[in-house]
């Protein structure tokens, strides 16, 4: 580490300090770097153990006793961990198109940053790490003395001799010329280049390479997406367009009268109106109730035979657990019983007898020996005292949130702790903290607030609610303080400033109340999709990677490790765990992939704009102009890709439709015949959605086949 003194004529622009300029030396692996590397090592170790635990628990057979995945695990040996090319192939067996595009999205970005790390990152590191003052023939200046320690360690033979007074520190003029040496890690970044340096062309060229590779991969993925969308649109999926009600009729060994399709049509027509076009009776395998695991049985299988009533059975993994479906099910069971037995309406039994015994006890109110509480695990129900204590603690934190915030702020800085100890006349403890090595200080100051905030952010008491409530409480405290200090005029002024925005919000809520109610009712009946949150998390990391890829290229290595880890973890989750309530056959058809690609393109354009601003601020006008032109070219190319491939992927070509129809017409297999029968029910999809708006039950509870 050294310092240089320049003559006035040889000093680079912006480096003068009172007629004398000092060169900032490079201290490879200084104290700040030690703290950064130690923190990074601890985080990497925690991430490794987390991934190892995830891999172990994902393939642990005993895990099924706690949570069984909705799809059985794959048989056979697992793929090799470094077999990355597997992700570039087409969809796996049984994989949804949305899961396939998510996997390809992660693999595409992993390939992008691997290419960038292999080609551009070494050139950037070598360019940034070169001495910015190399080639300048100027004499050295003596380095300034180190700062005096206010808490010197005591000498062995007595009191320590007084240190000579040091020179005043240098006042920095530009960010890269400060009173401390540049660390080795910082020298690998764009901040190590002096203004106006021709080496600014290196990040511009690397950004051109990154953009070119991204556009090439994006075009290839768009072609694959269009081809996979064609296959997805051509696949027969009648359950996406038809509502199917599966029933069976059993009269304790007696042969049930045949119920024709016309009878069912007459029964369902008043319910669905003009949306119901035709009803076809399709022979299906009868699925009994899934109550054997819970120790329950339908009435016809219990001792004594039960009442002479028909049974409503279901297909798939549906159940009678939603209370909102009782009235419709009871009415429908009653009407189906009349059709099956031929009894007159006045002689029909009471409502609710068409359901098994456990189901009738919930809605009808008839006491039975078997209760629904037997089907619940006591460990899944939160005790009432725990809920009361949690809400009480939440309310206390609303009012006393400033206390933990002050503690976190004090623990986040060792200097504040030292001042507190000095005021408490504990100079020995203050001296011990001050004499800590810089690496230890940096590690403690980085980890102490993280540990404290992590402890606060546990889901006990609702951390998010406390955080939002603390803002309201702080505003109330500030308002009370202003009113007490300024009087009632302050209250009138606050009301005048706040009533207008609040009135706008209130009017907007009144105007959109009905629409929100309808949309909320529709959303409550739909399923939760995990792909928006997964893409959002991936784009957050990719935005930071694009932004710092040419500014601090070492972030590329971290991005590659993260993408490789999450590509394997998320691929397993979306295929085995994150399945939907509507069943494994439900698929959104890759609808989120184009949105993710548009947002990633926007992140790349933002990174290019930031790099243009950096070049302009450092007086690199030519390279900044080239980067601005690159940004415009990226916008044009990305918009052309979107305009070309979006219409192709949105609908099936006419030639492909003709081939699909011809293959279906000539196929005489039982599966194709069943498909042709089910396809006639396609017009009932609107009735299927209307049934969601009129009640809050999900499709798996009654319309098991209408997925």
Match 């069912």 to its residue by tokens: 264
CA distance 111 to 391: 48
- Residue 158 has phi, psi (to 5 degrees) of 145, -150
Match 């004594």 to its residue by tokens: 304
Tokens coding 87:
């992700």
What does the buried/exposed string (b/e) look like for 56-95 if buried means 16 or more CB atoms within 10 Å of the residue's CB? eebeeeeeeeeeebeeeeeeeeeeeeeebeebeeebeeee
Does residue 91 or residue 353 have the better pLDDT?
A: 91
The pLDDT of residue 147: 59
- Residue 436 has phi, psi (to 5 degrees) of -65, 150
The whole-chain average pLDDT of the chain stands at 63
Task: Using CA atoms of 433, 437, 440, 443 in order, give the dihedral in degrees to the nearest 10.
Answer: 100
CB atoms within 10 A of CB 142: 8
pTM of the model: 0.53
Which residues have C-beta within 8 Å of that of residue 697, sequence separation ≥ 6? 322, 324, 325, 328, 525
| pLDDT, tens only, 554-600 | 889 999 999 998 888 888 777 766 665 444 445 677 888 888 999 99
CA distance 494 to 622: 52
Tokens coding 444:
């403690």
CA distance 225 to 672: 27
CB atoms within 10 A of CB 446: 15
The pLDDT of residue 208: 94
Highest mean pLDDT out of 66-80, 424-438, 448-462: 424-438
CA distance 440 to 430: 15
Using 50, 70 and 90 to split pLDDT, how confident is the model at 395? confident
Using 50, 70 and 90 to split pLDDT, how confident is the model at 636? very high
The pLDDT of residue 385: 81
- CA neighbor of 105 nearest in space, from 624, 436, 590, 602: 590
Match 């030690």 to its residue by tokens: 34
Distances (CA, A) of 634 to 121, 127, 201, 212: 21, 26, 19, 9
Task: Using CA atoms of 540, 545, 547, 548 in order, give the dihedral in degrees to the nearest 10.
Answer: 140
Q: Could you tell me which residues are beta bridge partners of residue 155?
A: 158
Can you give the residue ranges of every domain in the chain?
43-128+199-234+529-654, 249-285+297-369+670-707, 384-525
- CA neighbor of 407 nearest in space, from 369, 447, 452, 366: 452
Answer for the pair 127, 202: CB distance below 8 angstroms, yes or no.
yes
Of 193-197, 215-219, 229-233, 270-274, which gets the smallest average pLDDT? 270-274
Secondary structure of residue 690 in the 3-state scheme: helix
pLDDT above 50: residue 430: yes
pLDDT above 70: residue 119: yes
CA distance 120 to 550: 9
């Amino acid at each position: 580490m050294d310092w240089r003194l320049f003559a006035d004529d040889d000093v680079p622009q912006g480096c003068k300090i009172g007629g004398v300029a000092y060169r900032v030396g490079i201290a490879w692996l200084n104290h700040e770097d030690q703290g950064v590397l130690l923190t990074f090592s601890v985080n990497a170790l925690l991430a490794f153990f987390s991934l190892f635990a995830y891999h172990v628990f994902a393939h642990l057979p005993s895990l099924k006793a706690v949570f069984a995945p909705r799809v059985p695990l794959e048989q056979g040996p697992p793929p090799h961990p470094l077999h990355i090319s597997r992700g570039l192939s087409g969809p796996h067996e049984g994989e949804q198109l949305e899961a396939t595009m998510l996997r390809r999205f992660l693999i595409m970005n992993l390939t992008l940053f691997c290419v960038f790390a292999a080609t551009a990152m070494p050139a950037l590191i070598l360019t940034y790490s070169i001495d910015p003052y190399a080639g300048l023939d100027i004499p050295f200046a003596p380095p300034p003395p180190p700062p005096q320690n206010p808490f010197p360690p005591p000498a062995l033979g007595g009191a320590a001799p007084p240190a000579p007074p040091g020179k005043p520190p240098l006042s920095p003029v530009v960010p890269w010329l400060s009173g401390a040496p540049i660390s080795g890690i910082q020298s690998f970044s764009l901040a190590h280049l002096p203004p106006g340096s021709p080496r600014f062309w290196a990040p511009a060229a690397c950004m051109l390479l990154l953009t070119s590779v991204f556009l090439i991969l994006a075009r290839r993925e768009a072609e694959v997406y269009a081809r996979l969308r064609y296959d997805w649109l051509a696949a027969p999926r009648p359950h996406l367009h038809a509502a199917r009600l599966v029933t069976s009729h059993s009269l304790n060994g007696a042969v049930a009268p045949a119920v024709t399709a016309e009878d069912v049509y007459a029964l369902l027509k008043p319910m669905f109106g003009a949306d119901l076009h035709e009803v076809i009776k399709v022979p299906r395998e009868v699925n009994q109730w899934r109550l054997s695991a819970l120790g329950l049985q339908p009435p016809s299988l219990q001792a004594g035979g039960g009442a002479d009533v028909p049974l409503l059975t279901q297909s798939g993994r549906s159940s009678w657990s939603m209370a909102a479906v009782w009235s419709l099910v009871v009415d429908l069971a009653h009407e189906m019983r009349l059709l099956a037995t031929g009894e007159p309406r006045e002689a029909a039994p009471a409502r609710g007898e068409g359901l098994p015994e456990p189901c009738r006890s919930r809605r009808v109110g008839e006491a039975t020996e078997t209760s629904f509480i037997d089907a619940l695990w006591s460990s899944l129900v939160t005790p009432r005292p725990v809920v009361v204590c949690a809400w009480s603690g939440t309310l206390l934190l609303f009012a006393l949130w400033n206390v933990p915030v002050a503690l976190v702020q004090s623990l986040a800085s060792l200097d504040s702790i030292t001042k507190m100890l000095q005021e408490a006349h504990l100079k020995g403890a203050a001296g011990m903290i001050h004499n800590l090595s810089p690496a230890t200080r940096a590690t403690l100051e980085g980890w102490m607030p993280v540990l404290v905030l992590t402890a606060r952010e546990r889901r006990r008491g609702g951390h998010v609610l406390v955080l939002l409530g603390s803002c309201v409480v702080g505003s109330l405290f500030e308002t009370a303080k202003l009113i007490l200090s300024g009087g009632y005029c302050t209250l009138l002024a606050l009301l005048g400033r706040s009533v207008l925005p609040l009135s706008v919000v209130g009017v907007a809520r009144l105007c959109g109340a009905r629409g929100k109610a309808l949309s909320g009712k529709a959303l409550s009946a739909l399923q939760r999709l995990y792909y928006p949150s997964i893409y959002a998390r991936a784009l957050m990391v990719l935005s930071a990677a694009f932004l710092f890829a040419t500014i601090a290229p070492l972030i590329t290595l971290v991005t590659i490790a993260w993408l490789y880890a999450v590509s394997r973890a998320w691929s397993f989750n979306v295929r085995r765990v994150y399945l939907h309530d509507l069943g494994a056959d439900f698929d959104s058809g890759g609808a989120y992939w184009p949105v993710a690609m548009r947002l990633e393109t926007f992140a790349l354009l933002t990174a290019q704009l930031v790099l243009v601003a950096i070049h302009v601020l450092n007086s690199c006008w030519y390279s900044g102009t080239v980067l601005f032109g690159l940004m415009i070219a990226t916008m044009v190319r990305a918009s052309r890709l979107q305009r070309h491939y979006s219409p192709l992927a949105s609908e099936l070509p006419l030639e492909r439709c003709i081939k699909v129809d011809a293959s279906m017409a000539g196929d005489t297999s039982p599966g194709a015949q069943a498909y042709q029968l089910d396809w006639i029910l396609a017009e009932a999809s609107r009735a299927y959605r209307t049934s969601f708006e009129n009640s809050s039950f999900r499709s798996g509870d009654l319309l098991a086949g209408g997925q």
